[in-house]
Amino acid sequence: MLDLSRIKLFEDTPRKPNELHISTLCYCPRKEFFSYFFKPAIQVLRDDVLAGKYIHRIIQDQLEQMGYKVEVEVSLDLKDNFKLVGRIDAANPDHIVEIKTVRELYSPVLIQWILQVNTYMHITGIKKAILLIVERQTGEIHQREIEYDSNKAEEVLNLAEEVIKAIKMKDFSHLPKCQDNRCKYCSFEMFCRKA
């Protein structure tokens, strides 16, 4: 007979307690809720994710040679000893650079990206960001400038407060659902869609 107590789909306590991750929070507050409690036992990286990581590294290496700091860790204290944490792809004193890889260039810049860079700008005090959007198929790079919008940063801070409340209550049902079609790739989709 199998000892089912030794078989786990998710590992317990996947990260530092009381930390919320800016990038995940901006994409899907529900995923941030689940990630707080669980980590998939096996992380499967799709080809597009691996390509994105590789493209990030290539661009970051070049930006570093130009004098940018890369993988800049930022954090902001929240209520109840929680902290909002993130890692900026690259920054100098004038602006932040956030790298996004896509299958095809989207006409509008995704709201998640705007929320993410505005939160970084809010934390650092830097008022300008550059989104580098890289098409994975062609390697073509598009640049979009984003000016700081305190309302966008405040939206993320309010969302963080809602996630903290959900974590304390252990109830995610009031959190908004994901803003895009990435649910089908999410490790927590089977739990989330039932709510």
Q: What is the pLDDT of residue 41?
A: 57
pLDDT class of 78 with cuts at 50, 70, 90:
very high
Q: What would the mean pLDDT of 26-35 be, rounded to a whole number?
A: 89
Q: Which domains does the chain have, with CATH numbers?
A: 16-192 (3.90.320.10)
DSSP characters over the chain = ---GGG--SEEE--S-TTEEEHHHHHH-HHHHHHHHHEEESS-PPPHHHHHHHHHHHHHHHHHHHTT-EEEEEEEEE-GGG-EEEEEEEEE-SS-EEEEEEESS--SSPPHHHHHHHHHHHHHH---EEEEEEEETTT--EEEEEEE--HHHHHHHHHHHHHHHHHHHHT--TTSPPPSSSGGGG-TTHHHHTT-
40-62 pLDDT, tens digit each: 655 666 777 788 889 999 999 99
Q: Is pLDDT of 30 > 80? A: yes
Q: Is pLDDT of 105 > 70? A: yes
Among 110-119, 121-130, 132-141, which is the least confidently predicted range? Answer: 132-141
